Amino acid sequence: MDRRTIVKAGAVLAGSLGLPAYLRAQTSRKLSILTWNISDQEALFREEFTDFQKLNPGVEIEWLDKKGPELPAFYQTQLVAGTAPDIVDLQGAIWVEWAANGALLDLTPYLARDPEVAKLYNPDYLQGFAYNGKTFVIPFYVAKTLLYYNKIMFKEAGLSGPPTSFDEILSFSQAMAKGEKTGFLTLNFDWLYWPLFKMNGVELLKPDLKTPAVNTPETAAMLDKLAKATQSGAINKVAWTGRWVEPNGAFAAGNVGMLQAHSASYFFVKGQGPWVNGDTLGAVQAPGNWSTPTNHGLAVSKTSKHPELAFALVKHMTGNKWATEFSTRRRILTGNVAADAAGLAKVKAEDPLAHAVLETQLAHTDKMTGNWPLPNDAQVKDAFWPEIQNALLGRKDAKTALNDAERAVVRVMRRS
């Protein structure tokens, strides 16, 4: 998608063009915003920007959208070139590195000056965008993992309800594994598998967030259980090798009993799975109510020439009015408490199953895990996951894999 410019009102634009070029540059108030693979909301954004311009006459807004794999590299390039957009939509924990490196504006003083703004958002989702006691990002749209289960396969296996513990996940999976059918899948990117670890009391790092804490007998025992379940067919191997399309597609085919994924998976699965309806698909919290978030938030680049105006646009887009429009039109949750209540009420009348899925996203938000504020989050993932994958797929025994994972994480931490 190319740059999309929402121009100023005609009279204001004409007046500006009548000035000498150097004066036009001085009087111009232009904001740029970079979003993450959400070009389908062009109509909504145009309405939001027009509304903002009515409140702030003479402001020009340039909107650019990039696909997920492209945005981080693009934003980094713009930072280096000194042309970073004023506002950027960042997903997961990628924002922490840029906050730690001084690329993002500390929004804490802005929130302190206008305390009613922070009250708009779910405090746990807002706190998830804090680093070293400072807030750098405002919730834009949010999601966390839950457990989907195939009621047809549960009934065939004689299971009356969803699992309530890690061991039940494994035993239920084994009960459903038959022929081409397997019992369990998880998304594995961005720490989305971490609730399985947390159910077993496993921590990645010590409280200092610098020292590995994962290499314990308890972790090895858990990995052994998962590896054996994978080898037996109780757990689908795609859980450890796929990313998004593969595990969601496998669950949509109707041959897998459970899927641990975030709320966005519902719409993918429903679109591909003709068997999916309120009688056949269940949606609940994972055992222990543990979940891993994968949120989007709006940050302001520290190099913005108009930081006050940029923060005003962030407030405008995430405030009650436009967050409600966003929630109801796209059937997502925004982290804005009032907007999400309105969005849930609307979706409940239209799609009760989608309502059940989205409702899980607002409960037990104090039990989110795998969302450590690490400036080197991507490097830690890249060091840790391949060795854990080796254990889960039986390429290495659990203890050896954990030793190798610990060494790899220590090397990353020492470079930081």
Distance from C-alpha of 415 to C-alpha of 82, rounded to nearest angstrom:
26
The verdict on residue 56 lying in a domain is yes
Region 83-93 average pLDDT: 97
217 and 184, same structural domain?
A: yes
When divided into structural domains, the chain yields a total of 2
319 and 261, same structural domain?
A: no
Beta bridge partner(s), residue 262: 145
301 and 255, same structural domain?
A: no
pLDDT score of 281:
98
> Which one, of 135, 127, 140, lies nearest residue 108 by Cα?
135
Distance from C-alpha of 104 to C-alpha of 106, rounded to nearest angstrom:
6
pLDDT score of 20:
39
268 and 380, same structural domain?
A: yes
203 and 334, same structural domain?
A: no
The verdict on residue 365 lying in a domain is no
195 and 286, same structural domain?
A: yes
The verdict on residue 363 lying in a domain is no
pLDDT score of 28:
72
Domain end: 318, 338, 353, which one? 353
The verdict on residue 359 lying in a domain is no
282 and 160, same structural domain?
A: yes
Write the pLDDT tens digit of every residue in 68-77.
889 999 999 9
CA 411 vs CA 155, 251, 273, 379: distances in Å: 48, 37, 44, 10
The verdict on residue 370 lying in a domain is no
Write the pLDDT tens digit of every residue in 381-398.
999 999 999 999 999 999
167 and 223, same structural domain?
A: yes
pLDDT score of 166:
98
HEC profile for 171-201? HHHHHHCECCEEEEEECCHHHCCHHHHHCCC
The verdict on residue 369 lying in a domain is no
Against a cut of 0.75, is the pTM above it? yes
pLDDT score of 70:
96
Domain, as residue range, for 285: 145-292+376-415
pLDDT score of 68:
87
98 and 20, same structural domain?
A: yes
pLDDT score of 416:
73
Beta bridge partner(s), residue 149: 258, 282
How does DSSP classify residue 251? Answer: H
270 and 386, same structural domain?
A: yes
Q: Is the pLDDT of residue 228 over 50?
A: yes
Chain mean pLDDT for the chain = 93
pLDDT score of 317:
98
CATH number at residue 341: 3.40.190.10
**Binning pLDDT at 50, 70 and 90, where does residue 343 land?**
very high
228 and 135, same structural domain?
A: no
